[in-house]
């Protein structure tokens, strides 16, 4: 199973060599990036069936954890590694003059994202998180406009502040336990992190890593960056990178922090995220900004879902996360041409009927209209929230309902403007084939999921069960016992 490390190493190797390759042949430099990502995706897929029965661990450098760093490969981690690889391939952001540098950054995004999903060491996670942060600054500013650079600067400041908080949280954990290996930390957590210091460490890491996961209140960078970055980059950040940050938070929560207060903090911040995100999206008058705020709201739902204790929470949260992972990149692919004021979109259905139909399909699923997958995901969250017999969880359920009503209102408002008789004075240009094909592919996947909802739910439930099992994690890594 050692070859799974190639999902990280090969994209990095290619990125390092890309300027050299470009000097030899610019045609090769253009194609090698997507080809390498395809290859790493195949490597990941070929390991898929083996992780079904049990997780695998890779001891990097042949040093046994906790002295060395290990990669922990369960189905959840592998799924996210594949998602970042395939997502980057689908939303390949290289175009125009700076193609070479953008390709390099895209490869680095895929490599570091895969590493982030697989890593089993707390400090390694921090380093990879920093790496993916720097990659996303570069990509977000790559359009070269002044507004884009100003938005990226704000993103950089918020994100660096968050990283400092996360590092402080890691320092607290290290001070309490003396180790950084997640499996060993999971062993020590019930005795050494189940206290005020542990809770403080969790909150610092939640807010720190939450910057990328668009957590309230550290999400102020989101609307500006998504409105000014290239739409494909916004799709990657909203669709894939935010879920990776969420994945880390969930892993830490399962393994390191047994105290119930941790769940309450996450629940409250999630509720505030849904409220602020959906209200702001309702008021937005710009297509990209509307998508950005709606993404804050959706991530709020995920935070609420993951705050449900036990396997049920992981299952419900994963369902919403995977749904959003498909829908949001597709919407941003449509935004490639439809970005800017919503007024411009009046009557576009006549010129581009396929894009308008796709938007409606995606919007319906986002709101949660049966029988689309978004409905089942939200239903799952609601059922488990109401099962909790606690007024705060019930409040979460009501807020999600209210958010869905707001979503329905603003998404239908946009969709109905598509079919207005009189067209806008300056209609947007037609979509490029690549963008439309990508969005159609994701839309088709969403539609196919309608018919496969039962087997899909079984798979996700099994994955959630594997991920929520602390003892399985500890036994798989089997860290060397230290005095």
Partner 1 sequence: MQRFTSALFLLGLGVLIAAIFRNMDLAASTPIVGDAINAAAAQQVGAANFVTSVVLGYRGFDTLMELTILFTAATAGGLVLGKPRGDARPDPEAGLVLRAGADLFFPLLLVVGLYIILHGHLTPGGGFQGGVILAVAFFLPLLARPGTPMSHRAVSLIEGLAGASFIVIGLLAMPEGQAFLTPLLDKGQLGSLLSAGSLPLLYIAVGLKVGSELAGLLAQLAATEASD
Residues within the interface to partner 1 (CB under 8 A): 2-3, 5, 9, 12-13, 15-20, 23, 58-63, 66-69, 98, 101-102, 104-105, 108, 111-112, 115, 123-124, 127-128, 130-131, 134-135, 137-139, 141-142, 144, 149, 152, 172, 175, 177-181, 195-197, 199-200, 203-204, 217-218, 220, 480, 482-483
Closest CB 133 distance from partner 1, rounded Å: 9
Tell me the closest approach of the beta carbon of residue 427 to partner 1, in angstroms. Answer: 31
Q: What is the DSSP string of 80-113?
A: HHHHHHHHHHHT----STTHHHHHHHHHHHHHHH
To partner 1, the closest distance from the beta carbon of 2 in angstroms equals: 5
Cis link prior to 371 (omega < 30° from 0)? Answer: yes
Q: Least distance to partner 1 from the beta carbon of 65, Å?
A: 10
| Smallest gap from residue 43 Cβ to partner 1 (A) | 12
Structure tokens at 433: 């084939």
Instruction: Provide the minimum distance between the beta carbon of 229 and partner 1 in the complex, in angstroms, as a whole number.
Output: 12
Of residues 266 and 377, the one with the C-beta less far from partner 1: 266
User: Cβ closer to partner 1: 141 or 327?
Assistant: 141
Measured from the Cβ of residue 151, the count of other Cβ atoms closer than 10 Å reads 22
- Residue 174 beta carbon to partner 1: minimum distance, rounded to whole angstroms: 8
CB of 71 to partner 1, least distance (A): 9
- Count of beta carbons in the 10 Å neighbourhood of residue 295: 29
Omega cis (within 30) before 168: no
**18 contacts 98 by C-beta, under 8 angstroms:** no
Residue owning tokens 């297509």: 287
Report how far residue 277's alpha carbon sits from residue 436's, in angstroms, rounded to the nearest whole number: 27
**Cα angle, residue 252 at apex, residues 267 and 213 outer, rounded to 5°:** 55
Q: How far is the CB of 305 from partner 1 (least distance, A)?
A: 22
- The minimum distance between CB 447 and partner 1, in angstroms, equals 37
Task: Look at residue 277 and give its three-state secondary structure.
Answer: helix
Q: Cβ distance 280 to 248 under 8 Å?
A: no
User: Between residues 61 and 455, which has the closer beta carbon with respect to partner 1?
Assistant: 61
Task: Pick the closer one to partner 1 by CB: 458 or 480.
Answer: 480
Question: Degrees (nearest 5) of the Cα angle 233, 238, 239?
Answer: 95
User: Which residue, 195 or 341, is less far from partner 1 as judged by CB?
Assistant: 195
How far, in whole angstroms, is CA 49 from its chain's centroid?
23
Q: Which is nearer to partner 1, 199 or 453 (CB)?
A: 199
* CB-based contact 399:267 (threshold 8 Å): no
Contacts of 183 (CB under 8 A, 6+ apart): 65, 66, 70, 72, 120, 255, 473, 474, 476, 477, 478, 479
- Can you state the angle between helices 99-118 and 26-46, rounded to 10 degrees? 20
Nearer residue to partner 1 within complex by CB, 40 or 152: 152
Calpha distance 43→46 (Å, rounded): 5
Using the minimum distance from each CB to partner 1, give the nearer residue, 277 or 317. Answer: 277
CB 307 within 8 A of CB 267: yes
Residue number with CB closer to partner 1 (116 or 301): 116
Token pair of 155 as six digits: 């993103």
Which residue lies nearer to partner 1 by CB, 261 or 387? 261
Tokens of 381: 């969250």
């Amino acid at each position: 199973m050692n070859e799974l490390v190639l999902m990280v190493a090969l994209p990095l190797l290619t990125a390092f060599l890309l300027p050299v390759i470009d000097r030899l042949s610019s045609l090769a430099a253009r194609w090698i990036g997507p080809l390498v990502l395809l290859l790493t995706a195949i490597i990941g897929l070929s390991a898929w069936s083996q992780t079904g029965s049990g997780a695998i661990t890779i001891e990097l450098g042949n040093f046994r954890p906790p002295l060395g760093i290990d990669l922990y490969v369960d189905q959840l981690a592998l799924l996210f590694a594949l998602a970042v690889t395939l997502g980057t391939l689908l939303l390949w952001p290289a175009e125009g003059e700076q193609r070479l540098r953008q390709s390099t950054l895209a490869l680095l995004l895929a490599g570091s994202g895969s590493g982030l999903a697989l890593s089993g060491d707390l400090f390694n996670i921090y380093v990879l998180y920093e790496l993916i942060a720097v990659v996303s600054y570069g990509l977000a500013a790559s359009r070269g406009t002044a507004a884009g650079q100003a938005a990226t600067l704000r993103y950089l400041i918020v994100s660096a502040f968050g990283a400092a908080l996360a590092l402080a949280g890691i320092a607290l954990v290290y001070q309490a336990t003396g180790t950084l290996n997640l499996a060993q930390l999971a062993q020590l957590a019930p005795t050494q992190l189940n206290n005020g210091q542990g809770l403080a460490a969790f909150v610092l890491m939640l807010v720190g890593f939450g910057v990328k996961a668009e957590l309230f209140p550290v999400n102020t960078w989101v609307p500006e960056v998504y409105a000014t970055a290239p739409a494909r980059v916004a799709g990657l950040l909203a669709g894939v990178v935010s879920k990776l940050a969420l994945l880390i938070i969930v892993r830490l929560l399962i393994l390191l922090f047994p105290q119930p207060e941790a769940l309450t903090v996450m629940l409250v911040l999630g509720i505030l995220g849904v409220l602020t995100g959906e209200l702001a999206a309702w008021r937005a008058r710009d297509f990209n900004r509307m998508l950005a705020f709606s993404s804050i709201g959706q991530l709020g739902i995920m935070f609420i879902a993951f705050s449900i204790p036990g396997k049920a929470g992981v299952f419900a949260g994963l369902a919403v996360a995977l749904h959003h992972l498909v829908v949001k990149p597709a919407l941003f692919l449509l935004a490639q041409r439809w970005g800017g004021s919503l007024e411009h979109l009046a009557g576009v259905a006549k010129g581009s009927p396929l894009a308008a139909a796709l938007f409606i399909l995606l919007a319906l699923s986002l709101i949660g209209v049966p029988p689309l997958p978004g409905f089942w995901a939200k239903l799952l969250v609601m059922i488990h929230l109401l099962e909790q017999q606690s007024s705060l969880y019930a409040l979460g359920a009501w807020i999600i309902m209210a958010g869905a009503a707001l979503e329905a209102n603003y998404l239908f408002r946009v969709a109905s403007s598509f079919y207005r008789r009189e067209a806008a004075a300056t209609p947007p240009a037609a979509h490029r084939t690549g963008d439309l094909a990508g969005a159609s592919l994701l839309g088709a996947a969403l539609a196919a999921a309608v018919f496969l909802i039962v087997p899909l739910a079984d798979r996700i439930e099994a994955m959630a069960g594997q991920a929520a099992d602390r003892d399985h994690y500890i036994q798989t890594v089997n860290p060397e016992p230290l005095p």
